[in-house]
Amino acid sequence: KCSLGYDWHPECLTCHECGKRLNPGQHAEHKGIPYCCIPCYGALFGPQLYGHGSRVESHSSFGPQKNRLSSSADQMSDKVLETKLKEYNQYYEGKGGGSHAVQYRERNGKFILEGSVRIYWDVSNVIQLKEDNDD
């Protein structure tokens, strides 16, 4: 298989992120490294906007699978997060600010938060944001 200017063994042309086998000419590349178009390339290098494109967070094969043992500390922190989100939503519900509600769910062992959160920072220095995030 010839792709990206190289001859590949069929089992060697794989997505750098998830390891899925790729076909020549039917994959994306970034800086000479092959990626599957959906979901890996879009998630890693596509627009970082909420709701843009496919819902990559629910794709069960996205990224390397980690063997996460459920510990009591993880379960405790999940419960604390869930409690804090309920308090946050109740606070804004009483103020007629339903648009501030944060929805949460669990997918692939990770919490996914959806919504707007107001964050107040105590900043004493200028913050410079990076314009181009193409590492």
| 4 and 55 part of one domain | yes
| 8 and 40 part of one domain | yes
| 55 and 91 part of one domain | no
| 75 and 113 part of one domain | yes
Domain assignment present for 131? no
* 11-27: pLDDT as tens digits: 888 888 888 888 888 88
Measured CA to CA, the distance from residue 39 to residue 54 in angstroms comes to: 8
Q: Which domain holds residue 94?
A: 71-121
| 104 and 50 part of one domain | no
* 74-126: pLDDT as tens digits: 666 778 888 888 888 888 777 765 667 788 877 666 777 777 766 667 777 76
The domain that holds 43 is classified in CATH as 2.10.110.10
